[in-house]
Amino acid sequence: MQSSLFRKEVLPFLLWFGALIAGAVAVDALLHALDLIWVGRYLGIPGTLLILFSFGYSMRKRKLIRSGNPRTLLRLHETFTWVGALMILIHAGVHVYAILPWLALAAMMVNIISGMTGKVLLERSRRYLAEKRASYEAQGLAAEEIERRLFWDATAFDLMKRWRGIHLPITLAFAVLGLAHIFTIFLFWQWS
């Protein structure tokens, strides 16, 4: 039981997070070795765009857009934020001088960790409901009764709701710091 919990929940989390850090360090080292440090500096832009595109899921969920399979959009949200964070980490690895960018980076990393935690919780609640459904079906309950019970089981699993109460403010903090960082870059941009 405990080893399966580790395998299904803790291990994927550690692997994805570890891959993010290792990937950023490896690409950064490669760019330095190839004398392509300028590439890293510009990776901040596609990274930010990918994170912005990832909000397609949120827009679909909140009915700001009507098309797109929510499941696919959530997968894209997870992938785009991961790849976007990788690019931003490489971009930040290429020397940051001020405090604000570091704060924005820290907020992003907290956001990534919180997102990965949410993914684990979501998968756990899905598994929990699937097990419940199977057990009701095995008991031979009518379809309507099964749906009624599953509804209450789902509300019992309110960990996701509580998690959202953390993930959203973290996103806001990241957005404010990220925007402030971008704003100061334009402020001090040397146009000539």
The closest of 35, 79, 37 to 56, measured between CA atoms, is: 79
Binding status of residue 44 toward ligand HEM by CB under 6 A: no
User: What is d(CA 57, CA 44) in angstroms, rounded to the nearest whole number?
Assistant: 22
Q: How many residues bind ligand HEM (CB under 6 A)?
A: 24
How does DSSP assign 157-177, residue by residue?
Answer: -THHHHHHHHHHHHHHHHHHH
Check residue 149 for interaction with ligand HEM (CB under 6 A): no
Region 52-71 residues binding ligand HEM, contact defined as CB under 6 A? 58, 61-62
73 touches ligand HEM by CB under 6 A: no
Q: Is 77 in the site for ligand HEM (CB under 6 A)?
A: yes
**Site for ligand HEM contains 112 (CB under 6 A):** yes
Are 121 and 160 contacting, i.e. CB atoms less than 8 angstroms apart? Answer: yes
- How many other CB atoms sit within 10 Å of the CB of residue 133? 16
Q: x-or-dash pattern for ligand HEM, window 85-104, by CB under 6 A?
A: x-------------------
Phi, psi of 98, deg, nearest 5: -105, 170
Q: Indicate whether 119 belongs to the interface with ligand HEM (CB under 6 A).
A: yes
Encoded one letter per residue, x for contact with ligand HEM by CB under 6 A and - for no contact, window 122-141 reads x-------------------
Angstrom distances, CA of residue 184 to CA of 16, 103, 174, 180: 32, 13, 15, 6
Q: Which is nearer to ligand HEM, 27 or 136 (CB)?
A: 27
By beta-carbon proximity to ligand HEM, the closer residue of 68 and 135 is: 68
By the 10 Å C-beta count (0-12 exposed, 13-18 middle, 19+ buried), 101 is classed as buried
Q: Could you tell me how many helices (H) and strands (E) the chain has, helices first?
A: 9, 0
Among 81, 94, 105, 177, binds ligand HEM (CB under 6 A): 81
Residues that bind ligand HEM (CB under 6 A): 51, 58, 61-62, 74, 77-78, 81-82, 85, 108, 111-112, 115-116, 118-119, 122, 160, 164, 167-168, 171, 174
